Amino acid sequence: MPEPFILFVQTLDVIISFIGIVVIMIGVAYGLYDLFVMINCSIHRQKVKVDIFLDHMMKSMIIGLDFFLAGEIILTAVVPSTGQLLTLGGIVLIRIVLEYFLMHIRKTHLKSR
């Protein structure tokens, strides 16, 4: 592969990963806001809405991991190495486990209401 193309793909991977970080940070900010709202509601003995908190946190983590996954897939397709394949496999495994447990938590939470 030509060196400028590899450099472009590596830069693209960094940009896409940065977008994933920003998405997760925004989701955590929304989650913290929701947490403060939940605390305020519980202090005033109002009904606490945990669903909103869980939704923001779950969606931001899953979407952020999707950006990381996309960047790693692009980089691995162009510059395949053992390290890149292990990183890609690790991200895929984390995403699968995270989504499984998050969906399980959501289902059990919705059934308990």
Rounded to the nearest 10°, the torsion over CA 55, 68, 84, 75 is 150
Task: Give percent of the chain above pLDDT 90.
Answer: 13
Residue 113 has pLDDT above 60, yes or no: no
Q: What is the 8-class DSSP label of residue 46?
A: P
What are the φ/ψ torsions at residue 29 (nearest 5 degrees)? -60, -45
Q: What is the pLDDT averaged over residues 98-113? A: 71
| Model pTM score | 0.75
The pLDDT value given to residue 18: 94
Instruction: List the structure tokens of 23.
Output: 């998405």
The pLDDT value given to residue 26: 92
How is the chain split into domains, by residue range?
3-111
Model confidence over 25-68: pLDDT tens digits?
998 898 888 888 888 877 777 776 677 777 778 888 888 888 98
Is residue 69 very low, low, confident or very high in pLDDT (cuts 50, 70, 90)? confident
CB 91 within 8 A of CB 65: yes
- What is the rounded CA–CA span in Å between residue 98 and residue 58? 9
Among the listed residues 39, 71, 64, 59, the one whose alpha carbon sits nearest the alpha carbon of residue 102: 59
Instruction: List the structure tokens of 104.
Output: 């399980």
- What is the rounded CA–CA span in Å between residue 43 and residue 108? 25
The pLDDT value given to residue 36: 85
Between residues 29 and 103, which one has the greater pLDDT?
29
